[in-house]
Amino acid sequence: MRIEPVTLEVDGVNIVGQLYLPAGDMPYPTVCACHGIPAGIPDPNDRGYASLAEKVGSNGFAVLIFNFRGAGASGGNLDMLGWTRDLKAAIDCLYTLPEVDTSRFSLLGFSGGAVVSVYVAAKDKRISSVVACACPAEFDFFTRGDNPQSLIDHYREIGAIRDNDFPPSPREWLDGFKLVKPIDYIARISPRPLLLVHGSRDDTVSVDDARRLYAQAGEPKKLVIIEGAGHRLRRDEQAMTRVLDWLKSQQEN
């Protein structure tokens, strides 16, 4: 497997990632993976999404992993509307590459990254299919209390907000989380295939959110509840096996 560095400039911010390319004849079915909102200071022993990219890539997929603004090696500050622009730029970049089969192009999002995946796919018909893992139906649990400053202070403490003058408007920053809520957009993914995966013991995003999204989504759709699994599904072998099996099945249709 070959790994190529990727750097994009979005809104003057460097977005950093890696493209995993398998052996075999190109173009390859492609997966763009989208991480969630940072929960704390990064663990230096966590390989992040590299192991996921290796697993998916070893099955013949090209896989892009990248850090949204405010996370990892990318610049900038956590901002949900900015994340939607980061993802669009990543898709635009992938569509220029000869290695990418643009007719087989999937988004694989986790938690906040799943939110952004649903929002972008609803508006961008270039996306062939969507996998949303541990996806909130909306950020009501996150924005409850309507106090942006406490959230801003938290994300500044863990390094997801880095600039002292960001955000210029705390109220507009908080509104960004409300504007991208998947429950308002998930129906627009149809008729493209959708897979929703959720852990039965997710204590961050209720499994009821997955059921709400499934009820709102159009066909074709599939809901997988992983019994006993928590929120961090990329670390759950059963969940990732189900995701990979579904992604491979889409290439056969």
DSSP secondary structure string for all residues of 187-209 = GGGTTS-EEEEEETT-SSS-HHH
Domain extent listing, the chain: 2-252
| pLDDT above 90: residue 130 | yes
Mean pLDDT of the chain: 94
DSSP character for 186?
A: G
Q: How confident is the model at residue 40 (pLDDT cuts 50, 70, 90)?
A: confident
Looking at the chain, the whole-number percentage of residues with pLDDT higher than 90 is 89
Dihedral, 59, 64, 81, 146 alpha carbons, nearest 10:
60
CB 175 within 8 A of CB 167: no
CB 17 within 8 A of CB 32: no
Determine the topology of domain 2-252 in CATH: Rossmann fold (3.40.50)
141 sits in which H/E element: helix 140-143
State pLDDT tens for residues 175-217: 999 999 999 999 999 999 999 999 999 999 999 999 999 999 9
**Across 132-141, 142-151, 220-229, which has the greatest mean pLDDT?**
220-229
